[in-house]
Amino acid sequence: MNPQKTLRHFASAHCFPEYKILSRCLKNNGNFGKYKFPWVCAFFALFPLEGSETTIWLNPAKIVDLKKMQESYYVAIENGPKLTVPIHRRRIISNAEVACLVLATMRRGHFHFITKGTTPLDFLELPDTPFAKVLRGRLSLQYFRTPIGELNRLYNKAYSLYHCNDLIENREAVDRIGWY
C-alpha cells in the first residue's frame, strides 16, 4: 500500500477524520494554505513532505532537529533515524507549522471546555527540542485564525454531505444505521 492508503485504513479503523474531506475543509476555510494539507486527528498531526499519495508523512512533535549537511537537509526523528528530505528547511518548517495550527484548532474545538487557552501553543504538547523551539517562535502559532469549533463544524458538515449520496442510494445501509 502507498502511504495515503495506509493512513486511510488507520483513520477508518480508529474513527479519525478522513483526509480527503478534511483537506477540502482546510482549503475552503482559506486559513491553512492551498495544498499539501496535513492529516490531523485530535491526538496528533502528520504533514506530507511532497504530494500526499506517495510521500513520507512526519509528525512535527516527533522531529528533534533539522540540519543541513553538504547540499541536503536531514530531519532527526525522536527515537528514530535521520531522514534525508527532498525539500528545503523553510518548506519543512512551514508545513510543520500548518500541521500544528490545524491540530491546535481541532483540539480547541474539541477540548476548549477542558483546556483553557487563547493561543494555538496552549493546545499543543511540543517537546523541548530544537525543532519545537523553532515552531514555538512562529507567528501563526501565536493566534487562532478561526472561531472555536469552526473547523470541527465544517468537517462534520462536509462529512455528512460527502456520505449523504451513499445513504440515499443504498436504502439497506440506512436501515442498518440505528441512529438515522
Instruction: Write out pLDDT tens, residues 24-64.
Output: 888 888 888 887 889 898 889 999 887 656 678 899 999 99
The ranges assigned to domains in the chain are 3-176
Q: Decide: 179 and 160 in contact? Cβ < 8 Å.
A: no
Q: What is the DSSP letter of 16?
A: P
- Tell me, what's the pLDDT at 56? 84
Which among 138, 134, 132 has a CA at the least distance from the CA of 62?
Answer: 132
Cell for 171? 436504502
User: Is 88 within 8 Å of 74 (Cβ atoms)?
Assistant: no
Closest CA to 93 of 107, 73, 113, 109: 73
- Taking the model in full, what pTM does it have? 0.83
What pLDDT, in 10s, does the model give residues 134-174? 999 999 999 999 999 999 899 888 888 887 766 666 666 55
Tell the residue number behind the cell numbers 454531505, with chain if given.
Answer: 161
Q: What share of the chain is helix, strand, coil (3-state, %, to 5)?
A: 50, 15, 35
